[in-house]
Amino acid sequence: MKSISLVIPCFNEEETIPLFFKETEKIKNKLRGYQLNYWFINDGSTDKTLKVLRNLNSSQAQRVHYVSFSKNFGKEAAIYAGLREAAGDYIAVMDVDLQDPPEFLPTMLAGIEDEGYDMVGARRVDRKGEPKIRSFFANCFYKFINKLSNTQFVTGARDYRLMTRQVVNAVIQISEYNRFSKGIFSWVGFNTKYIEYSNRDRSAGTTNWSFWQLVRYSIEGIVNFSEKPLAIASYVGLTSFVLSILAIIFIVVRKIIFGGSAYGWASLISVILMIGGIQLLCLGILGKYIGNIYLETKKRPIYLIKEKDNQTNSTIK
């Protein structure tokens, strides 16, 4: 029997795992005879997530598998580990909080088998229930990165998607340390379809993503998939230089024509602070790219495994 593997990153999700498993099991009979397998990736949880996964594995050893990291390596590492471990004919990435509707899986499967797509994803058409400031910056991020990057990002696209084995093999070939899965899924290409839906609240618990974590994650996405910020820094520096030359010419001409000294300490300090700020901004942009290069050259593993069930692959990457 062919199988569909679900890759589910988990970080402090002891309350949501049983709910997720119960809801997902309801649709397994609609998957055209495919067996549904679960690959939970415990991303260094500090609650009882690992205990819950052990219990679930003991009762469903043939279909429920888990990998537990030695510490928290982040969701991107968990997705990568799950894609490497999963052994199904088709593989789906899902969040455990049920914001990714399990009932979409039959439709996704039909999109691949009947319509010939290689990957079928899900995208939110609204962000009801989220703080307005988070929704605003999320929309700004997609507009901004699509102007900067040659890789196009679908607004509202989730990590939730069903992929063929060929797509998964392409994704795991990209073994870079600084990962941004939304960009990687777009970059590898393949025929992709998106299912639209309205935002859903978490089934239980609270999100582990703060606003500033999402901001840092967005910056990683921009740096990983565009070199244009470096060009912007150069343009800003060039513009500042030209304006400074024009200001010097103005001051010299004013001195020759009207006499007197160039007065105004407050304005002088303001200009110095402005130019210093521009320099620091440009250095910060450059430093971010250099920092990513530094991390890549160190060749540290993306994740380390502390524990896994007996039937998973012995992969440490």
Which pLDDT tens digit goes with each residue over 255-313?
Answer: 677 766 556 665 666 677 677 777 777 777 777 778 777 777 878 888 898 888 875 55
Task: Kindly state whether residues 78 and 199 are assigned to the same domain.
Answer: yes
What b/e readout covers 65-89, taking b as 16+ CB neighbours within 10 angstroms? bbbbbeebbbbbbbbbbbbbbbebe
Task: Kindly state whether residues 125 and 264 are assigned to the same domain.
Answer: no
Task: Kindly state whether residues 201 and 294 are assigned to the same domain.
Answer: no
Structure tokens at 6: 């679900």
Average pLDDT over residues 25-32: 84
Task: Kindly state whether residues 62 and 158 are assigned to the same domain.
Answer: yes
| Residue 287: per-residue pLDDT | 78
Segment 244-258, tens digit of pLDDT: 777 777 777 776 777
Domain count, the chain: 2
List the one residue out of 175, 288, 284 whose CA is nearest residue 226. 288
Task: Kindly state whether residues 272 and 188 are assigned to the same domain.
Answer: no
Q: Determine which helix (DSSP H) or strand (DSSP E) holds 81, and give its type and residue range.
A: helix 75-85
Task: Kindly state whether residues 238 and 281 are assigned to the same domain.
Answer: yes
Segment 134-170, tens digit of pLDDT: 666 666 766 666 676 677 777 778 888 899 999 999 9
Residue 217 lies in a domain: no
Segment 198-218, tens digit of pLDDT: 876 655 556 555 556 666 666
| Residue 154: per-residue pLDDT | 75
Task: Kindly state whether residues 190 and 292 are assigned to the same domain.
Answer: no
Task: Kindly state whether residues 205 and 246 are assigned to the same domain.
Answer: no
Beta bridge partners of residue 157, listed in sequence order = 123
For residue 91, the enclosing domain spans 3-209+301-308
